[in-house]
């Protein structure tokens, strides 16, 4: 049977973005005609390819097919390929392993900042991280008319977002701690928890902290004030604690404790005066003996009083905090108003516009700083008046509260909820105390044991 002549064949195919044409050249059979480089070029032009024909590569492929009688595939036309850019990245300037560690939980379920170590701490102004911004790529071009741009792969921003108390530079490349405290990097968010670590024992003195404070050693006879929470990790005696947040107490004797938030008690309160609009929450093993507890929203602890009949008062459902806060606000108001008067007195000679314009540059900067300080004090005065109005309008009293004690409540303990009160005359164990329906007495209900 005679051989059948079959000419060589050509397959041309665009890639997905039409920036390349792949040519597959098949050899002839039975003495048929070979595909030539001119055939490939003509077909490409027929497809609308306007530039980028790779004549040399096509000739080489045609020669290979002719010599080997096997098919060959070649990039016959090449457009402008898109050039991918680079994603953003972060270079941390603090110990990433330290700041990424989850903060252990206190028995209350809240973060236990007493476990924070120095490796995680940063002072105000510390540069925390440097951001390498993403760099966009360059687009490619299709091979056929109308020539279309081919977008490069989208770039990603640096894997970081800015959280609380972190400042960003104007060029968006430097992250700096705005406050001193614990650096936290979680879920790609960088933040700073205002926190002061005090490792040394304190004996006497008055201390004011911006943010929270963690007292890691014994503290005696000191006045501690914090604009955040207070952790007293060991023993405090004869101290005054004032916190604008929660207070975490391990063991306290002869102390006055005032908090805007809750009081969390791990071990023992002895002869302490406690005042909070929130709650006193203790472990089942906690002990409250002597002193007076005023917790507007209730109390939960272990044992109250002792078998020595120590007078101990637990008060709930009554707002004892607002009067304390009002006195603080009056003091703050007087201080802010005096500050404004002093600043205005200093600024008086510079009140004239002409005088101000003729000042040296350093004096102008001084005047500007004083004006900013005056504005800040005036803003603080408005905030104080606003808080005073809120305190005057709304009572924090809440008589629908419980007193829950999982240990023993001993004789000589007074329990008050609103205007209702009772003195314990014989030991009561594992009970919840509520105000009666008539509001005249406090009733005890045994706690149900967990199944």
Dump pLDDT digits (tens) for 368-389: 888 889 899 999 999 988 988 8
Per-residue model confidence (pLDDT) at position 440: 84
- Write down the domain spans for the chain: 9-78, 89-138+151-185, 288-317+395-451, 327-393
Q: Say if residues 190 and 175 touch (Cβ distance below 8 Å).
A: yes
pLDDT at position 96 over 70: yes
How many Cβ atoms are within 10 Å of 386's Cβ, its own excluded? 10
CA angle 401, 404, 407 (to 5 degrees): 165
DSSP 115: G
Structure tokens at 400: 């629908």
Which residues, in sequence order, are bridge partners of residue 26? 9
DSSP 3-state percent helix, strand, coil across the chain (nearest 5): 25, 40, 40
Per-residue model confidence (pLDDT) at position 98: 95
CA angle 349, 350, 353 (to 5 degrees): 130
Residue 76: pLDDT band (50, 70, 90) is very high
How many Cβ atoms are within 10 Å of 164's Cβ, its own excluded? 14
Classified as helix, coil or strand, 100 is: helix
Which residues, in sequence order, are bridge partners of residue 140? 150
Label the pairing between strands 263-276 and 287-295.
Answer: parallel
pLDDT digit string (tens) for 177-216? 999 999 999 999 999 999 999 999 999 999 999 999 999 9
Per-residue model confidence (pLDDT) at position 451: 40
Per-residue model confidence (pLDDT) at position 398: 73
Tell me what the pLDDT averaged over the chain comes to: 92
**For range 339-344, the mean pLDDT:** 90
Per-residue model confidence (pLDDT) at position 439: 81
For the ranges 64-68, 222-226, 245-249, the lowest mean pLDDT is seen at: 64-68
Structure tokens at 301: 């602890």
Full DSSP string of 304-347: ES-TT---EEEEESS--HHHHHHHHHHHHHHHHHHHHHHHHHHH
DSSP 104: P
Single out the residue of 189, 171, 88 nearest to residue 134, CA to CA. Answer: 88
Structure tokens at 106: 């206190």
Helical residues (DSSP H) of 2-117, grouped into ranges: 37-46, 55-68, 96-100
Burial class (CB in 10 A: 0-12, 13-18, 19+), 60: middle
**For range 5-21, the mean pLDDT:** 93
Residue 155: pLDDT band (50, 70, 90) is very high
pLDDT at position 285 over 50: yes
Classified as helix, coil or strand, 350 is: helix
How many Cβ atoms are within 10 Å of 422's Cβ, its own excluded? 16
Predicted TM-score (pTM) of this structure: 0.78
CA distances in angstroms from 405 to 117, 290, 408, 428, 433, listed in the order given:
34, 16, 7, 9, 8
**For range 439-449, the mean pLDDT:** 87
């Amino acid at each position: 049977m005679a051989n059948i002549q079959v000419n060589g064949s050509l397959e041309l195919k665009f890639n997905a973005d039409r920036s390349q044409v792949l040519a597959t050249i098949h050899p002839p059979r039975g003495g048929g005609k070979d595909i030539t480089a001119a055939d490939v070029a003509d077909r490409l032009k027929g497809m609308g390819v306007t530039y980028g024909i790779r004549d040399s590569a096509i000739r080489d492929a045609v020669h290979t097919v002719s010599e080997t009688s096997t098919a060959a595939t070649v990039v016959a036309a090449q457009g402008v390929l898109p050039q991918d850019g680079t994603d953003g990245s972060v270079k941390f300037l603090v110990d990433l392993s330290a700041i990424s560690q989850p903060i252990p939980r206190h028995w209350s379920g809240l973060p236990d900042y007493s476990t924070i170590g120095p490796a995680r701490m940063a002072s105000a102004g510390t540069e925390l991280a440097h951001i390498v911004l993403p760099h966009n790529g360059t687009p490619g071009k299709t091979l056929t008319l109308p020539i279309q741009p081919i977008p490069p792969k989208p770039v990603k921003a640096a894997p970081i977002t800015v959280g609380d108390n972190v400042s960003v530079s104007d060029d968006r490349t430097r992250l700096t701690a705005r406050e001193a405290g614990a650096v936290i990097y979680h879920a790609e968010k960088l933040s700073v928890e205002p926190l002061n670590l005090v490792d040394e024992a304190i004996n006497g003195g008055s201390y004011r902290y911006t943010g929270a404070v963690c007292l890691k050693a014994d503290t005696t006879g000191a006045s501690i004030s914090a604009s955040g929470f207070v952790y007293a990790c060991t023993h405090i005696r004869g101290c005054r604690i004032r916190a604008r947040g929660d207070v975490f107490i391990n063991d306290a004797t002869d102390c006055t404790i005032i908090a805007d938030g809750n009081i969390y008690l791990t071990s023992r309160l002895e002869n302490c005066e406690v005042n909070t609009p929130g709650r006193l929450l203790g472990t089942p093993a906690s002990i409250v003996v002597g002193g007076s507890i005023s917790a507007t929203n209730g109390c939960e602890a272990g044992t109250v009083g002792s078998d020595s009949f120590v007078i101990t008062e637990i008060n709930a459902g009554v707002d004892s905090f607002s009067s304390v806060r009002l006195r603080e606000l009056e003091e703050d108001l007087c201080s802010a108003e005096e500050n404004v008067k002093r600043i205005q007195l200093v600024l008086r000679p510079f009140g004239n516009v002409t005088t101000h314009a003729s000042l040296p540059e350093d004096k102008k900067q001084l005047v500007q700083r004083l004006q900013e300080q005056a504005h800040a004090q005036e803003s603080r005065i408005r905030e104080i008046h606003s808080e005073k109005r809120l305190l005057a309008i709304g009572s924090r009293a809440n008589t629908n509260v419980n007193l829950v004690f999982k240990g023993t409540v001993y004789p000589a303990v007074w329990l008050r909820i609103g205007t209702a009160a009772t003195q314990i005359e014989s030991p009561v164990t594992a009970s919840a105390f509520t105000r009666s329906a008539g509001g005249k007495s406090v009733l005890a209900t045994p706690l149900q044991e967990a199944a």
